Structure 1
Amino acid sequence: MRGLRVVAFAVAACVAAIGIAHAQDATTLKKTMPGQWELSTTERSKTCVVTMKGDAAGQGFKLELEPACKTTLPFTKDIVAWSVRGLDIVRLQDATGEAVIDFTEVEAGIFEGLRQGEGVYILQDLAAARSMAKSMDQMIGDWSMVRGNGQPVCGLTLTNTEAGPDNFQVFLKPKCDPAIAQFNPAQWRLERGQIVLMSKSGEAWQFEADDNAQWRRVPDTADPLIMLRQ
């Protein structure tokens, strides 16, 4: 019996600890969410600024939508407040407290939400979103691929022409190294600070910026492949 009591006590302690952790996470979200956020489609073709506030409003907290939101993203016309539900759900809700869209954090400062029949929407810090957009603009143009010894092996052009959700067209220039010509990337995107090139077959190469403002293919090798802005 004593063993059972010990087990029961341990289970109760775990449950209590989980409850505290949940409360702490929810409390943290309530403190960190107030501010300006960008609500957008995944490819950012439609964007809307949401200002979340810490003031209570009915069953949640106050928020403001920029005037263009209701035209750009029609579902936002029903949003009147925000709240935190459960452990980690940020809810944009209607006047009755029902969800218009629920978001969960997928990485620091970036939340994803799904609306059935419409698709996935992104909620992220406004300053970070605009910085990302600026970074994307800086990527567009002509690039050169070189080996670690500086020998050019291919030229390519990154464009802002959409080629699917979050992806854009890329074109190789003539006379590329056979290995790169065989890979033959058709799309690119900027993902978590990396340039990702993708072939028609679904193969992907990732490049990370190094300390010399170059983009090196990862994982690194003894004969690295480097992308340089032209």
Structure 2
Amino acid sequence: MGVLRVVTFAVVACLAAIGIAQAQDTTTLKKEMPGQWELSTTERSKTCVVTLKADAAAQGFKLELEPACKAALPFTKDIVAWSVRGLDIVRLQDASGEAVIDFTEVEAGIFEGLRQGEGVYILQDLAAARSMAKSMDQMIGDWSIVRGNGQPVCGLTLTNTEAGPDNFQVFLKPKCDAAIAQFNPTQWRLDRGQIILLSKAGEAWQFEADDNAQWRRVPDTADPLIMLRQ
């Protein structure tokens, strides 16, 4: 009986600890969410600003949608409040408390939500979203790919023309090195600080910025490829 009591006490204590951790996480999320957020499609072709407030509302907290939201994202016309559901779900809800869209955090400050029949939407800290958009704008234009010794091997142009979810068109210039011509990237995107080049076959090359403001293909090799802005 003594062993059973110890085990029972341990299980109860463990469940209590889990409950406390969940409560703390929920409380933290409620404290961190108030502020301005960008609600957008994954490729940011349609965006609107949502201001989440700490003031209580029916079944949640108050929020404000900028006037352009209803035109850009029609489903937002039903959103009247926000709340935290479960451990980590941020809900944008209608007047009855039902979900218009539920978001879960996929990385710090970035949440993803799915609307059936429509696709995935992103909720991101407004300042970070605008900083990312600015960074992406700075990527658009002509680039040169060179080897580690500085020998040019290809030229390419990154555009802001959409080529599918999250991706944009890229064009190679004539007389590229055979390896790059064979790879033949047709799309690109900026993802978590990397420039990603994608081929028609779905192969991906990743480039990361180094200390010299160059973009080196990773993983690094003895004969690296480097992207330089022209």
Superposition TM-score, scaled by structure 1 size: 0.98
Distance 2:101 2:81 in 1: 11
Distance 1:121 1:10 in 2: 42
CA shift, 1:9, in A, is 2.1
Equivalent residues in 2 for 1:134-173, closer than 5 Å: 134-173=134-173
Residue 206 (structure 2) aligns with: 206
Whole-angstrom distance in 1 between the partners of 2:28 and 2:172: 47
Alignment partners' CA distance in 1, 2:103 and 2:94: 15
Identity of aligned residues (%): 91
* Equivalent position of 1:53 in the other structure: 53
Q: CA deviation at 1:220?
A: 1.1
Q: Aligned residue for 1:30?
A: 30
Runs of 4+ in structure 1 deviating by more than 3 angstroms, as ranges, are: none
Displacement of 1:16 in angstroms is 1.4
Match of 2:2 in 1: 2
**1:178-216 per-position Cα deviation (integer Å, ceiling 9, x unaligned):** 111111111000001100000001100111111111001
> In the TM superposition, what whole-angstrom CA distance separates every residue of 1:88-119 from its partner, at most 9, and x where no partner exists?
00000111111110000001100000011111
Question: Offset of 1:68 from its aligned partner?
Answer: 1.1
Q: Distance in 1 between matches of 2:15 and 2:86?
A: 15
Shift of 1:168: 0.4
Q: Offset of 1:8 from its aligned partner? A: 2.1
Report Cα offsets for 1:127-174 as digits up to 9, x if no partner: 111111111110000001111111111111101111000100111111
Deviation at 1:7, TM superposition (A): 2.3
CA positional deviation for 1:4: 2.6
Shift of 1:222: 1.5
SS at match of 1:217: strand
Question: What displacement does 1:15 show?
Answer: 1.3
Deviations 1:35-54 (A, max 9, x none): 00000011111101000100
Aligned equivalents of 1:26, 1:36: Cα separation in 2: 19
User: Structure 2-normalised TM-score?
Assistant: 0.98
SS of the residue 1:117 aligns to: coil
Residues of 2 paired with 1:134 and 1:76: CA distance? 25
> Alpha-carbon deviation of 1:5?
2.5
When structure 1 is superposed on structure 2, of 92-101 and 2-11 the one drifting more is 2-11
* Ranges in structure 2 where 5+ consecutive residues have no aligned partner: none
Distance 1:18 1:197 in 2: 43
Q: Tell me the CA shift for residue 66 of structure 1.
A: 0.4
Distance 1:104 1:119 in 2: 15
**How far, CA to CA, are the matches of 2:210 and 2:35 in structure 1?**
32
Taking the TM superposition and a 5 Å limit, the aligned residue runs for 1:37-186 are 37-186=37-186
In structure 1, the residue corresponding to 2:195 is in which secondary structure? Answer: strand
> Distance in 2 between the 1:2 and 1:211 partners?
63
Distance (Å, rounded) in 2 between the aligned partners of 1:161 and 1:196:
15
CA shift for structure 1 position 3: 2.8
